[in-house]
A and B are shown apart, each in its own frame.
Chain A
Amino acid sequence: MSTVDQTYQRPKRGLGTTRLAGAGLLIFLGGFAIIGPAVIPFDPAAQDFGASLAPIGGDYLLGADHYGRSLLARLAHGARLSFGMAFLTMLAAAIPGVLFGLIAAWRGGWTERGFEFVATIVLALPGLMLVLLLLAFSPGNYGPLFLGLALTLWVEFYRVTKATTKTILSQPHIEAARMLGFGSRYILTHYVVPVITPMISTLAAFAMATAIIAVSTLSAISVGLQPPTPELGSMIVELLPYFAEAPMHVLLPAALIFLLVLALQLLAQGERA
């Protein structure tokens, strides 16, 4: 038995607040990542052995690491690296992914089958495995890391775009629009793009979160970016032996990764979290 009017259903609560929290956190961290490196008067690579493992709140605002490098500066540069890398990777995955998805849905037939085949090949292996294999060509470099991540991440953009676009194009309102004389260009910009845009934004945030996790993880297991690059994952591992003396120093970069990923995930999923 249904036929209960909408008014008797419980209204959805907290719609958007999660997203808002994510956006706020992201703006704060983004500001730290973009403005931080410019305004913090320390070189992230400058060593000062006198200040080795300097405590938080002393000469150095967030202390210094075992080489006496400013942790604040290193965190800011690390955040910029993670963020920038994630953003570029996302773009490199999203642009071809969305484009191929649209083409496949629009053309169908062999074009679609071709793209599907490539996607199947990429998805045969877990993404990180593919990145690892590419990293074997030149460990510690940006190139293969970037390429590997983009190569694994584009598929999700492609699949969502293709599936959604196909569904939209098969709906009666598209048939009606064509009969009314509207062209493909109008249908694309007015009927397809508005529907896929929010989905693509969600995917973009997820892709950035994935990239941040992947870069820090790979650096932490020493196949990603290498010290002395101020990369958050490798900072954690570098500082780990000094955990007994300076536990907060280890936890700071970890917390920064956590917050970056959290912000992106909150932004991406909103109330569905």
Chain B
Amino acid sequence: MNIQLMNDLAINDLSIHAADGTIVSNVSLSLGRGRPLTLLGESGSGKSLVAQAIMGNLPAGVHATGRVLFKGLDLLAEPAAERRQRWGRSIGLLPQEPWLALDPTMRVGPQVAEVHRYVKGKTVNDSLAATSQNLAEVSLSQAEALYPFQISGGMGQRVAIAMADAADTELLIADEPTKGLDAALRDSVAARLKCEVEAGRLLLTITHDVAVARALGGTIGVMLEGRLVEYGPAETLLEKPEHAYTKALLAAEPSQWEKRTRPSSGKTVVAAQALEKRYGDRVLFSGFDVAIAAGEIVSIVGPSGCGKTTIGNILLGLTTPDAGAVVRDTVLSSLRFQKLYQDPPAAFAPHQTIRRGLKDLARLHGKDWTKIEALCGRLRLQDALLDRLPGQVSGGELQRFALLRALLLDPAFLFADEATSRLDPVSQQDVITFLQEIVEETGLAVLLVTHDRDLAEKVSTRLIELGGFQGKST
């Protein structure tokens, strides 16, 4: 009874059922004022369904059982119309990928103002004034007259927060609020969510990102395959995880990795001097020097749009610099310079089975299939995966196939362009570990481009910071 009073939102024995079975089973959670709740899990773990059950927007054909008590009232017992009445009034939603949740044909201002006008019932003038204030609070005053296609992802996220502020609901559900944002923006969003908690709002956050959960504190629930496998205060859970999955999840975070770098004494494979690249009037970088030696992992870190991928492409000869020169070790065939891509499915022809692609590659270069089989074993890729299309295997597996494909050509230099940013933490660790082993064995030179500073610090011999500040031309 005591616990019930303390909890403004209590979920008891929530299960979610689809036509072909139960997809979320027996989840019990609670959250209160000043004690946000974060649901952590990978996609398909059912965490978004739990949020949808609370919000009351489960997809057609899916229904929830159990109890969702919001200030003592069971939401699941309420008829749909009544639940919809709560939207924007007592329960608010911070959408994932807000740039998709904004009406593409309406300016930002009116999209915030309509909350005041049509939900709060204010007059037109009051709504406009309140809107200006909401936008000013997230430092977006200048964006009021812009259309969604004219603002960046980070600004879109702030517009969504301004809308949530305008609605000022008691409970705020944030659904993957950092999806598609880089590390710096992710931290700023987490900080803003924390402000919401301090302002006395109830916050439920759905995320796959341990860093977000850590930043928010409060209570954490870890979900796996539709079950809540671990649940407890953030400090305890993050320090002393009990469930094997939580342990793996936390260990896979780059900041928890063991630092494993090796100084290299090999000769330089590729070097560049005084590189400069501009897009129109904007100078991405200038006077950039880099040299990468065999057996070395060099990282370039920096925010999105700072030109770090461009540098890698220049080293590979895929992009021409506006100034400066690239020197490659001349004895090496150009085939020994390879690249791993950010989005693994985009790096494979979508209609060609992986086996076919590898067979053609082996035939082209006169390699033996046994070499591919050996690499498959090495990279823990099962034979059955070979007969699938690239879209039918997971991102982590596909990135390992990309690595295999490159290794078949005995590469001297590999450019890994955000190669693990779209993978879940465990797959990310797998791919990076394989890469490190190969570097140690073969003396491969690697250029790692990433926005994840922790990752870069743990694995690279040298770390180059490419700041946005260089990019501004004045």
Please list the residues of chain A having a beta carbon within 8 angstroms of any beta carbon in chain B.
Answer: 1-5, 7-10, 171-173, 175-177, 179-182, 186, 190-191, 194-195
Contact = CB atoms under 8 A, between A and B. Distances in A.
Contacts of A9: 59
Contacts of A8: 18, 23, 59, 61-62
Contacts, number: 81
Contacts of A5: 23, 44
B365 A179 contact: no
A257 B350 CA distance: 39
B16 to A, nearest CB: 10
A176 B341 contact: yes
Given A1-B48, A2-B48, A190-B352, A175 B57 contact: no
A243 to B, nearest CB: 51
Given A8-B61, A180-B361, A171 B346 contact: yes
B409 A175 contact: no
10 contacts: A1-B55, A1-B175, A5-B23, A7-B20, A172-B347, A173-B347, A176-B339, A179-B338, A180-B406, A182-B364
Contacts of B22: none
Interface in B338-362: 338-339, 341, 343, 346-352, 360-361
B409 A176 contact: no
Contacts of A175: 318, 339
The secondary structure that dominates the A interface is helix
Nearest to B352: A190
| From A10, A176, A186, residue with most partner B Cβ within 10 Å | A176
A3 B46 CA distance: 8
Contact of B349 (A1, A179, A190): A190
B316 interface: yes
Interface of B: 18, 20, 23, 43-44, 47-49, 51-52, 55, 57, 59, 61-62, 93, 95-96, 175-176, 316, 318, 334-335, 337-339, 341, 343, 346-352, 360-361, 364-365, 402, 405-406, 409
B342 to A, nearest CB: 8
A2 B96 CA distance: 9
A33 B399 CA distance: 54
A191 B341 CA distance: 18
Given A176-B339, A179-B335, 10 more contacts: A1-B55, A1-B93, A1-B175, A3-B176, A7-B20, A10-B61, A173-B349, A176-B341, A180-B364, A181-B409
Contacts of B350: 173
Contact of A186 (B44, B338, B360): B360
A191 B364 contact: no
B360 A173 contact: no
A187 to B, nearest CB: 9
A1 B347 contact: no
A182 B350 CA distance: 17
Contacts of B337: 179
A176 B347 contact: yes
| From B20, B343, B349, residue with most partner A Cβ within 10 Å | B349
A173 B360 CA distance: 15
Contacts of A3: 43-44, 47-49, 176
Contacts of A173: 346-350
A4 B62 CA distance: 10
A172 B351 contact: no
Contacts of B348: 173, 176
B93 A172 contact: no
Contact of A7 (B18, B343, B349): B18
